[in-house]
Structure formats: structure tokens, C-alpha cells
Structure 1
Amino acid sequence: MFQRTKRTHEQLRSYRYFGPDDLRSFGHRSRQKQSGFGTEEFEGKPVIGILNTWNDLISCHAHFKQRVEDVKRGIWQAGGFPVEVPVMGLSETFMKPTSMYYRNFLAMEAEEVLRTYPIDAAVLMGGCDKTTPALLMGAVTADVPSIFMPGGPMNKTSWRGDQLGSGSDVWKYWAERSAGRLGCEAWCELEDHIAASPGHCMTMGTASTMTSITETMGMSLPGSASVPATHSSHSRMASATGQQAVELAWYNVKPSEIMTADAFDNGITALMAMGGSTNAIVHLMALAGRCQVPLTLERFDQISQTTPVVGNIRPAGKYVMGDFFEAGGLRALLARIADLLKLTAPNVAGSTLADAIKDAEVYDEDVIRPRDSPICENNSLAVLRGNLCPDGAVIKPAAAEKQLHQHRGPAVVFKNYPDLKARIDDPSLALTKDHVIVLQNAGPLGAPGIPEWGMLPIPKYLLEQGVRDMVRISDARMSGTSYGACVLHVAPESFVGGPLAFVQNGDMITLDVTGRTLQLEISDEELASRKAAWKQPEHRFTRGYGKLYFDETTQANIGCDFRFLHADGSTDPEPSIY
């Protein structure tokens, strides 16, 4: 277990609230008794906060009502005192303009909940895309011992004999419907099958990417991220997570001790080997800023170039997360690339990454590929530079048609998403498969919230001709379940005067994934002239959260976090309880 001295109950944070013989502690104890608990149930025991992101509008977390009881069971069994603390849920489906707009809000709430309540350790319950990074960001900033409980992917499902992938097949079949090859009745029938149970997307979208990275970085129990949401072992995993939270409280194991530079390297390596979501880059950059780990976009690219994609999981591959689980799951995948990992990195289980993947086996070598037969040898994700993206942009080569990895074509420009929706299918644009579709004002401030608009639609008349991929460029993000030759996270964004704002119809753009470049083929003088004539759009908000967001949000290349929440080496004092 942990190589340190176990704390006494007088050393627990909660002791300050419940232990002393004074008026304030009398009030704390009496209020717990008001809730029906006896003194022996809470006094002298670690108080374990359960940060639950459940609500009725997050179907991914529909099982969390039961899972929180499973977590509590584990805490009671280990001699702790569980307290459920509901925190903001971030529904990927329903929150507008995007759940990403509120990731930092949840991170702030998690941080303050952990700091201000008598919590000795925390279980962080998440899964749906932005809940995972938000909870980790808040936990490491408060630096209260914490363990993450992943919500798990939804069940495998099929339609008309074909296995479905949530998200990925929505885009696929919508393209077929737009091309006139899928009728309304079939489309409505698909709607009944695409999401078959509680749990997050069963592809290697952002949700499974982030929970798998979290496990690889050591912040959840080994083997936990791959367990499907409705599998009986998920309930057992939740209980074991609660038990381990009690150990973390007694030994005071803090997130900052787990999420080290080595842990980030391991997380990025897993991201590449899984063919994971581009969104992970934004989240890991933000989390590194909270952990005081010096992380750059170039580090992602370095690891990408040396890491094979061995996870044959959609959208880059063939299978879904249920197949991955049955094939051995994340532990098996990590064992397959063990020589690329920092195996001495610690985890919340009190062991190391080497211990976590020891004896892991692959049970299906088409799902988790051998090293000599990967999905692709490297370049799961690529970071681009050039005069169109001086601070970087990203693309997922593994999910794009290979002939588009090197492409030169004329731009067709849309000033914002409503403009795109209104005109993309207009035949008078006369687009061909060689055009480059450019969307402006879809970034962190321009949208706002850098929504998942980056998988820009292909015109219906091209879909009818059989075109299924084109080069598309924006300062937006893309769903982790999406695919295509989509250049994303262009920084600086167009809203703040990044070069993307100055692209005009007909400008030639060159993409070279191998060379890692994205170039707008105009002279520096012409680019400067266009910038001088450009006027920044007005901010949308003058008050409230919107103003805070606009004033403090950074660009995508450094994580879209609030500037004032970046770690600066200082620590906040324990709150006074008087």
C-alpha cells in the first residue's frame, strides 16, 4: 500500500469540525444527529465526499443514483463516513451553447466544495465528456485526496444487423439521409437503437478517452475505465472505489502527488495508442496548468510519432468499448505498449502503473492489435503549425481519408455557424471535393465555448456524388465520436484576430499532415493588410458568468481554462471554521 505513516483521526481535516469540545463543534455534531446519524457513525472516521454529477438531463449518468449507493457501501465497509454532495452536471447533449462553456464552472464548484466542507477524501463521479476533466481540475487545485469513479460506456447495440457506434453512426447515417439514401422511417427507427442503455458513448469518443486517460494517469482504480455502465462488475468497482477513498484519506495521498509529469506522458501515450479524441488535448493542457506540469502541444506530437495505434476502436477503428472490455480492456492495451510508458508512476491504488498492468492479457488480437500489426504505426493525432495557425491546430489523421493528408485547395469561407447552416447546401457555391471548407468565429470566445462544430457538414450535392470527406478547418472542436479530415482548435481563434479571421473565398490553403503544416497561400504583406482592416466583434456579455468567461478564458492551445485558476505556486489556507 502507501509508503507513509497512517494518520490518526485527530489529523483528519474533519476532526476540526467534529472533534473539539467547543460550541462550533457542538453545532456540527448536532446537525449530523439532526440528519439521523449517531455520534459513533461519523466521529473519528474519515469523511468521504461523493461528488455526484447526476441529473435527469444526463442520460450517460442515469445509473448514478444506484452507483452512489454502491460507493457509499464501500465507504461504510472500509470504516468511513460517506456524504453525497451533488455538483453541476454537464450534459453533452442538452447544455447550450456547449458543455465545454461550463467545464470551468464545474471545476470551480468541485474545488470549493472540497475546500469548504469537512471532507477528508473524495470520490469523483463522472463520465460524460467534460465532467471528467472538470472534476480532476477542481480536485487537484483543492488538493484533497481524491479518486475518480468512471461512469462506463453504454451497452453494445445494433440496428438491422449492423453494430452501432453512438455518435459516429449518427454522423454516418445523417450523411446517408442527406444524400437521399436513407428514408425518414429508417432514420426514426435508428433513433430507437443508437443509445441502448445508461452510460456514455460506447465508441472511443471524448468520454472513454478521458476516463481511460484518468486511469492511466493513476487517478482511478486499475481496470475501472473499461467496465460497461450496466455490467455487474461496475457496481462492484464503484464499491471498491469507495473503499479506496477511505485509504486515501488515512494516508493523505493528494492528487498533486499522482498527476505528475510522468503521469501526463503516460496519459498522452494511452491517448495515442487508443486512437482517442482530439478533445483530450484541450483538457490535458488545462489540467497540466492546474498541476504546474510544463506541457506543450509539441509533447503530444512527439509522443504521437512514436506510439502505434493498437486499439481498434471506433471512430478510428472497427469495434466499440464493450468489445474492448471483453478483449482485456485498458490494462491489456497498456501492457501491449508497456515499453513506451513510465511504469514507476504511482496510482491511487497505492501501487504503480507497472503493478496495475502486470499479468494483463489480450483476449482478442483484432480488438487490441499486436505491435507488428497496428491500426496505424503512429500519428493518431497531429499538431499543425503555419501562418494559418501560429499557435497550433490539431487533426486526427487516423480518422481521415489518407489522400487528404496532403491537400491543396481553394477556401470557401463561412463567417459563423448560422452562416454555414444557411448556405452550405447552396448549389451556387459550386463546391467540389477539392475545396477547403473554413468556419470562422467558432472558438473559445467566438462561439462562445469552442463547441463541437468542427466536423463541418459536406454539401448534400457532394454527398449525393459519393463524397464522404473533405478538408475542413475551424477554431471549433469536434466530437470524439466524429471522423474526417477536420483541422480543429486553430489558435489564435478568429474572434481575437487570429489569421483564420482573414481567410477569403478562393484563397489557396495547403495541408500537409506529414510535414505538420497548415498554410494560407498569401503574402505576409497581404495578411498584415487584411488584419489592419479587420474589426473585432463585440463581446456578447456585460455581466454574470458570461462576462467572467469572456474576460478570463484562454485559447485552445493552453486549455481554455480561466487564467485566474492556473496554478501559480501558492496555496489557499484551510478555511476558518469559527
Structure 2
Amino acid sequence: MPQPIAANEPVIIDEKANPYRDCIQGLANQPITVVRLLRDAVNENPVLAKKLAFTLPEIRDVVGRLVENRPRVAIIAGAPDHPAHLLDRPHALMAALRIWEQGGVPFLFHVPVICDGTAQNNIGQSYSLASRNTTATAVNITFEGHSYHAAYVIAGCDKSPSAVVAGLAAADRARAHRGDQAPVWAVFAPAHVLKGGEIPEGTRRLLEKVARDADGAGHDDLGGDIRENMRYILQCTSDEAFAGLLERARLLGLIDGAMERRILDELAAATCDSKGGICAFNGTGNSSRTMLAAFGLTPPALELLTDVPPYDAVASGVDTLFSVFNRPEYAIGNLLKANFANFVRVHNATGSSSNMLLHLPFMMRHAGFDITIDDYQAVRIETPVPEIFAHSLTENRDTYVLAQQMAEGQNRGMESIYRVLADLGVAMDLDAPTILGKSWAERIADLDYPVDLSLGDKSVIRATPVRQRSGVDVITGSFFENCAVKTSGMSDHLLSHFNDHVFIVRYYENEHVCNADFAAPDLVDRLMNTEGVTPELIRAIVTRNGGDVTPDMAVRDMLAQGHLSFAFVIGGQGPQAYGMPEMFSPSQNLRHHRILEASSMLITDGRYSGVTKGACIGHMVPEAFAGGGIGHLRNGDILRLDLTLLTLDWLECDAFLHGQEITGNPTHMPDRKDLFEQRHQRMLTRQLDIAACNVMEHVSDAGRGIVPETVDRRAVHSWR
């Protein structure tokens, strides 16, 4: 059992300001919250409290500590309507006990956490990214308003970890300007990993029958897609794919609506473990876990949990905080600055979420650093890294397994990742500090074997690279400034096949119409009836992409071979237009539609889920609402993607048909003015779907993290 700091050696925060000493109202108001928190901690942990010989304080004990300026530590937890936060309460109460044991003063507050799965493919997605900004503000308001010194954060899923980091970092920057307060210290304890579900045996038999019936009806592509998705662990993401596949089956007459509903309900009921947690796929939730650890903000004992942490692990996290008090070099802003480049390298090496290209500049700009995705790309180019995560949802190598391997001592989590990258010659900043009060070099000095070699192919972390190309790339083009593509989400075949490849645009103003096309039995006819698509254009596209057009070749075969290619463009989804929802549903439907996956890509000014696979380009800047080129595209336009040069260009159609590839920008074409103005009016009308208080006006673009104007303007400090 960890031992508390001796009572005669209390930590006193070194600062001029102490509002609890200098203003009687806070001293009168807050002690009752501390006593109640500790009383709940004792009542709900009677065995632990007895073991610790814990004595409940009285009001005057709290008053004394506040006046002395003992560490005021905010425990920040999430809302229990998100599965990741179901076990936050016992965790938070243990942290409160340890903070008091160590001579500090614990407080507890909660932040809302929007589940991107729950908000998926509905209006909730227009509130999801906005929640990141408002949560950052709420954290900052509470932390500054109640004058806390430090935070013990039970970090959850999706955008909330980045939001909490940003809110605390903003407080750290403001305190540095004021000069009379200590900086902000923080320890992060990511929520435990959710164990993936299994398809019930009866449901599996029903799915197998649908697949057989699809084969028998001449739709073996659908049968194969269903069987492929059955290989995945059962998560909300695989459920989304099943929803698209079963809709295709219903529209083909293979099942009726009642059977479709039955299977979906049975899948939903079997998906989530009752303990909750962060889903086991390597999406934004686990990418955020990786991010916190890579920034040096997470003690190893709290990095990869599969349940409520034991008291010793919680105590180690609290003790870590107490060990760095009055040491400004370990404040959150300094850790962000020192480890920024390290995180970029780790993010790429682990094949993490493309959403982090939004959240990284968001956090850093809140911390006052002038960082955009150009800085991300600069680090990526300066120090290319291989992919060392063999993460798989079909081969028993998900994040839950990674956590089990760490618990068994078969890896050391982030320390193993730093060691592997350093051993591979990647120029990691090993002198960068971490919240443990040690540099990375000190933390990995004794780590001769970063992963247990006996694991072999079972290991999630690999000492030998999985492949050389990894991560997320930033793309530029003739009709926009930048966008993001998750290279790690594309197979080697797709990376090769779509390199220097041309596509025909099919344009949508929302994802629901796109999804309807993907599910339609007459999809091929719809594509051929796209405005601007002519036999001449089809012949030119197929020939340019390396295929042959013969008189008897079916269009379906041209698609299946990947030579007739479409760019499904979903515009008007940007932050100002519609809150930047995830286009996960169409991305899953593309990924699990073998004909489309072989031939086509998605493009949007919205974003994608962190677990997205396939050729999906997002975060396009400027967004359509702001007059960006994506809002001026139309059906039948031609785009050229080059994954070597990292460019996506609009080509003049007439020149292309005559064998020339002349790049241009449709925003410069007079005939597109009316088209855009009509779309913009529809965007304004659609924006009324969102409550006025959550429309994201006066924010920076995606390349600058979508931060409020004032945050963007104050981000002037260099991170180098």
C-alpha cells in the first residue's frame, strides 16, 4: 500500500495569489463540498477506508488547508450517459481519498461527453464537435473560477480528452500572463478499454443465411461483404456496416423489414460489455489515449486499463502530481510544447485517428502555440516513421488485447513505443519531460526488450515495422488549401492503385442521399445517369487509369476492376455550415461494398470516424460554406489524386477528353456562381436544424483546429 507523505511535510503551492485566504466567500462556500466528497468516498469504500485508517475531516480541517494553500486538485470525470464513464465514480472517489491523504484538497466536477456512436448519422453529429469547444470552455471556467491548482482527469472518449487538455492549457497560459499564480499541473487516467462483443450464435446463422441467399440470387459481392464483416469483433462500428449491408439485402428483396430489424436489434443487444469503456478499435477514443501518453501526461499504471483501477494505481497517479508541484517545467503547457513533435511521430507510427489533425492544433492553440496542420506535416516530413501497430479487429489484436499484454508485462505501453521508434532510428526527442518528473530517455533506459518476443504475431506493438508508410497525410490541391487522408486506413493495394488516378465527381449535399445510393440495387444505373457522364468520358477515365474498354465490357466490371472510378463528394458539412459531422456511415458503406471500395473514394469538408478505413479524404479547407472549391464542384467533374506528390487536382474536362491534363479551380468559372449561391442558400436553411447556441460561427478553419477567434488570435508562441 502506498504511503502518504509525512504529515509534517505538507506541500504548499508557491504563489502570491490565494483566493481562499484573501476572499472569505470561497473559504465559506467550498469546504462543505470537500467533506461531502470524502464522506461519499468512505461510505462507498468502507474496506479501503478501514485499511487506510482514514479519518474523515471536519469543516475546519478543510478551511485550514485552503488557507495554507495546500494543493487544490480537481478530479475531472465524465457523464455516466457515455459508456466510457460508467466506472468513473469509484475511480474518482479513490482519487479523492488519496489527494486528502497526501495533504491536498480534492474537488470533483463532471463534463458532458457526447458519444460519437450514439450521435452517428443523425443530427447529434452536428453537436459533437461543438461539444469539444464548449467542454474546453467549461473546464476552463470551472478550473479558473474555483482557482484549482491541478487536475486528476479520468479521460474518456472521442473529443473530450482533447477538450480537457485545451481547457487546462488555456488556464496555464492565462496564469503565466498574470504572473501571480502557479501554473497548471495535470495527470490523465484514460478510461478503461471496452471489451468487444461477439455475434450471438443464432444471429450468426441468420447472417450466414442472408449471405447464402445473396450468393444464390447472383449478388455474391453482397454475400462476401456480409461474411467479411462477420469476422470483426462486435462493436458499434461493425453494427453500422451491418446496417448498410442489411439495407442492401432488403432492397434486393432477400429479407423483409422485420428480419432486418430483428438482426439489428440482436446485434445491438450483444455489442457492449456491461462495464462500458472506450471501444476497442483504434479510433479517436484510443487515439486520444495514445495522445495523452505520448505527451507524457499519463503515468504507466493508468495508461491501459480494462477495469476500475486498483487503489495502488490511482495512488500512483495522485502521487505523481504531488511530486511535480512547484516545478513549473512539468506544467501542462510545457509538456505540450516539449512533446508536440513526439506525438506527431507516435500518432503516425500507431495508425491513429485522422480526427487528431483537428484536435492537435486545437489543443496547442489553446495553449498559446501557433500550430497548424502545416506544423504537423513538417514534422512528418522531417522525421518519417514506419507503422509499428499491428492493430486488428479480426485477428485478436485490438486495444483490449493491447491492454492485456501490458498488464502481463509483455509491453510497457507508451514507453515501448518510444523505445521501438528510437531503436528504429526515428529522431525522438528523448530529453522531453514527462509528468513522472523524468525524461523519456530516463523512462526507457532499462527497456532492453520493448515487446515480449515470445508473443510473435500476437503482439500489437511490433519491434519490426508492419510497413514503411503510415499515419495521416496532408494533401493540397488546385481548388483547395489542404485536407487530410488517413494513409494507414488504406491497404497497400489501394495506396498503389489510387496513386496518380482520376475520378468522376458525383456530388451530394448530405450523407443520407449518398447512403441511399450505396444501398440501391440500381447503383450502377444511377452512376451512369450522373449528369456529365458520357461514353466518351467513361472511355477516357478507364483508359487513363490503365484499363481497357471493349464493346462487350459491362460497366460493373469496369468498376470492379477499379478503372472506372467515382469521387463521392459530400459538401456543406464543414464546421461553420453544419458542425462538421462525421461521414462515418457512408465511409463504412463504401468500405464494405467491394465494388465501390475497389474503384471509388469519398471526399468531404466534414470529418470521418477515427476507425475509418479506405480512400476517405476529409477536413477540406476552405469548406463549402466559406466559398471553398468543394462547394463549386458538380457532377461529371474530373479529379486527379496523386498519393506520391500528395495532391488532389481539378482537371478541365474538355482538355482531358483530348488527352491533356490541365489543372484549374472551379471557383474561377463564371458558370459555377449560380450553382454555389443556390447551394449556399440551402446550407443556410439546413443550418437552422442546429440550435442557435451551438452553431460554430467565428471559428478558425479545420487546419487551425476550429478554435474560437480569440483563441486563434492569441496563439502566437513558437513550439520549437
Report if TM-score (shorter chain) is over 0.5: yes
In structure 2, do the counterparts of structure 1 residues 525 and 436 end up closer, same or farther at CA, with 3 Å as the change threshold?
Answer: closer
Q: In the TM superposition, what is the alpha-carbon distance from 1:356 to its structure 2 partner?
A: 3.0
Q: Say whether 1:564 aligns with 2:689.
A: no
Q: Which residue of 1 aligns with 2:75?
A: 50
CA-to-partner distance for each residue in 1:267-320, whole Å, 9 max, x for gaps? Answer: 111111111000011100111212233434244335445111111114799720
Runs of at least 5 residues in structure 1 that lack an aligned partner in the other structure: 1-5, 572-578
TM-score by length of 1: 0.86
Q: 1:396 aligns with which of 478, 486, 489?
A: 486
Q: Which residue of 1 aligns with 2:545?
A: none
Give the secondary-structure state (helix, strand or coil) at the position aligned to 1:473: strand
Q: Say whether 1:387 aligns with 2:461.
A: no
Q: Say whether 1:169 aligns with 2:238.
A: yes
Q: 1:416 aligns with which of 510, 532, 555?
A: 510
State whether residues 128 and 207 of structure 1, in contact with CA within 8 Å, keep that contact through their aligned partners in structure 2: yes
Partners of 1:49 and 1:39 in 2: CA distance: 20
Give the secondary-structure state (helix, strand or coil) at the position aligned to 1:551: coil
Percent identity between the two aligned chains: 17
Which amino acid is the alignment partner of residue 710 of structure 2? F
Partners of 1:454 and 1:362 in 2: CA distance: 33
State whether residues 278 and 480 of structure 1, in contact with CA within 8 Å, keep that contact through their aligned partners in structure 2: yes
Partners of 1:564 and 1:545 in 2: CA distance: 22
Q: How many residue pairs were aligned?
A: 557
Partners of 2:510 and 2:707 in 1: CA distance: 23
Q: Which residue of 1 aligns with 2:291?
A: 213
Q: 1:310 aligns with which of 360, 376, 388?
A: 388
Partners of 2:287 and 2:588 in 1: CA distance: 26
Which amino acid is the alignment partner of residue 164 of structure 1? I
Partners of 1:548 and 1:157 in 2: CA distance: 34
Which amino acid is the alignment partner of residue 273 of structure 1? A
Q: In the TM superposition, what is the alpha-carbon distance from 1:504 to its structure 2 partner?
A: 0.9
State whether residues 147 and 241 of structure 1, in contact with CA within 8 Å, keep that contact through their aligned partners in structure 2: yes
Q: Which residue of 2 aligns with 1:575?
A: none
Partners of 2:105 and 2:588 in 1: CA distance: 54
CA-to-partner distance for each residue in 1:210-249, whole Å, 9 max, x for gaps? Answer: 1211111112223533222x1655x543332233333444
State whether residues 309 and 375 of structure 1, in contact with CA within 8 Å, keep that contact through their aligned partners in structure 2: yes
Q: Say whether 1:509 aligns with 2:639.
A: yes
In structure 2, do the counterparts of structure 1 residues 221 and 266 end up closer, same or farther at CA, with 3 Å as the change threshold?
Answer: same
State whether residues 458 and 469 of structure 1, in contact with CA within 8 Å, keep that contact through their aligned partners in structure 2: no
Q: 1:88 aligns with which of 112, 123, 127?
A: 112
Q: Which residue of 1 aligns with 2:58?
A: 37
In structure 2, do the counterparts of structure 1 residues 458 and 149 end up closer, same or farther at CA, with 3 Å as the change threshold?
Answer: closer
In structure 2, do the counterparts of structure 1 residues 547 and 438 end up closer, same or farther at CA, with 3 Å as the change threshold?
Answer: same
Partners of 1:474 and 1:569 in 2: CA distance: 27
Q: Which residue of 1 aligns with 2:161?
A: 132
CA-to-partner distance for each residue in 1:41-82, whole Å, 9 max, x for gaps? Answer: 452332211122223x21111111111112213212322121
Partners of 1:30 and 1:370 in 2: CA distance: 50
Which amino acid is the alignment partner of residue 169 of structure 1? S
TM-score by length of 2: 0.70
Q: Which residue of 2 aligns with 1:350?
A: 437
Q: How does 1:541-560 map to 2 (within 5 A)?
A: 546=692, 549-560=695-706
Partners of 1:146 and 1:273 in 2: CA distance: 25
Q: 1:189 aligns with which of 250, 263, 266?
A: 266
Q: Which range moved further: 86-95 or 158-167? A: 158-167
Q: How does 1:427-446 map to 2 (within 5 A)?
A: 427=522, 428-430=525-527, 433=559, 434-446=565-577
Q: In the TM superposition, what is the alpha-carbon distance from 1:498 to its structure 2 partner?
A: 0.6
In structure 2, do the counterparts of structure 1 residues 167 and 176 end up closer, same or farther at CA, with 3 Å as the change threshold?
Answer: same
In structure 2, do the counterparts of structure 1 residues 369 and 49 end up closer, same or farther at CA, with 3 Å as the change threshold?
Answer: closer
Q: Which residue of 1 aligns with 2:498?
A: 405
Q: In the TM superposition, what is the alpha-carbon distance from 1:487 to its structure 2 partner?
A: 0.6
Partners of 2:141 and 2:689 in 1: CA distance: 22
Q: In the TM superposition, what is the alpha-carbon distance from 1:13 to its structure 2 partner?
A: 7.6
In structure 2, do the counterparts of structure 1 residues 63 and 31 end up closer, same or farther at CA, with 3 Å as the change threshold?
Answer: closer
Q: 1:152 aligns with which of 180, 192, 195?
A: 192
Partners of 2:30 and 2:576 in 1: CA distance: 46
Q: Which range moved further: 547-556 or 274-283? A: 547-556
Which has the higher Rg, Structure 1 or Structure 2?
2
Partners of 2:589 and 2:629 in 1: CA distance: 25
Which amino acid is the alignment partner of residue 156 of structure 2? G
CA-to-partner distance for each residue in 1:123-151, whole Å, 9 max, x for gaps? Answer: 12222111100000000000122222211
Q: Which residue of 2 aligns with 1:118?
A: 147
Give the secondary-structure state (helix, strand or coil) at the position aligned to 1:346: coil
Partners of 2:602 and 2:317 in 1: CA distance: 42
Q: Say whether 1:9 aligns with 2:49.
A: no
Q: Say whether 1:336 aligns with 2:425.
A: no
RMSD (CA atoms): 3.4
Partners of 2:487 and 2:61 in 1: CA distance: 58
Q: Which residue of 2 aligns with 1:72?
A: 96
CA-to-partner distance for each residue in 1:149-199, whole Å, 9 max, x for gaps? Answer: 211321244335956163442344345434539964544333233322411
State whether residues 79 and 246 of structure 1, in contact with CA within 8 Å, keep that contact through their aligned partners in structure 2: no
Give the secondary-structure state (helix, strand or coil) at the position aligned to 2:152: strand
In structure 2, do the counterparts of structure 1 residues 550 and 157 end up closer, same or farther at CA, with 3 Å as the change threshold?
Answer: closer
Which amino acid is the alignment partner of residue 498 of structure 2? H
Q: Which residue of 1 aligns with 2:606?
A: 476
Q: Which residue of 1 aligns with 2:542?
A: none
Partners of 1:213 and 1:516 in 2: CA distance: 25
In structure 2, do the counterparts of structure 1 residues 331 and 173 end up closer, same or farther at CA, with 3 Å as the change threshold?
Answer: farther
Partners of 2:33 and 2:79 in 1: CA distance: 24
Give the secondary-structure state (helix, strand or coil) at the position aligned to 1:259: helix
Which amino acid is the alignment partner of residue 377 of structure 2? D
State whether residues 153 and 199 of structure 1, in contact with CA within 8 Å, keep that contact through their aligned partners in structure 2: yes
In structure 2, do the counterparts of structure 1 residues 193 and 34 end up closer, same or farther at CA, with 3 Å as the change threshold?
Answer: closer
Q: Which residue of 2 aligns with 1:267?
A: 343
In structure 2, do the counterparts of structure 1 residues 505 and 495 end up closer, same or farther at CA, with 3 Å as the change threshold?
Answer: same
In structure 2, do the counterparts of structure 1 residues 315 and 297 end up closer, same or farther at CA, with 3 Å as the change threshold?
Answer: farther
Q: 1:528 aligns with which of 658, 668, 674?
A: 668
Partners of 1:417 and 1:297 in 2: CA distance: 26
Which amino acid is the alignment partner of residue 350 of structure 2? M
In structure 2, do the counterparts of structure 1 residues 365 and 488 end up closer, same or farther at CA, with 3 Å as the change threshold?
Answer: farther
Partners of 1:283 and 1:346 in 2: CA distance: 22
Q: How does 1:425-464 map to 2 (within 5 A)?
A: 425-426=519-520, 427=522, 428-430=525-527, 433=559, 434-446=565-577, 448-453=578-583, 456=586, 463=593
In structure 2, do the counterparts of structure 1 residues 268 and 543 end up closer, same or farther at CA, with 3 Å as the change threshold?
Answer: same
State whether residues 405 and 511 of structure 1, in contact with CA within 8 Å, keep that contact through their aligned partners in structure 2: yes
Q: Which range moved further: 325-334 or 135-144? A: 325-334
Q: Which residue of 2 aligns with 1:3?
A: none
Give the secondary-structure state (helix, strand or coil) at the position aligned to 2:296: coil
Give the secondary-structure state (helix, strand or coil) at the position aligned to 2:586: coil
Give the secondary-structure state (helix, strand or coil) at the position aligned to 1:106: helix
Q: Say whether 1:104 aligns with 2:160.
A: no
Which amino acid is the alignment partner of residue 73 of structure 2? I
Q: Which residue of 2 aligns with 1:576?
A: none
Q: In the TM superposition, what is the alpha-carbon distance from 1:34 to its structure 2 partner?
A: 8.3
Q: Which range moved further: 190-199 or 506-515? A: 190-199
Partners of 1:69 and 1:174 in 2: CA distance: 40
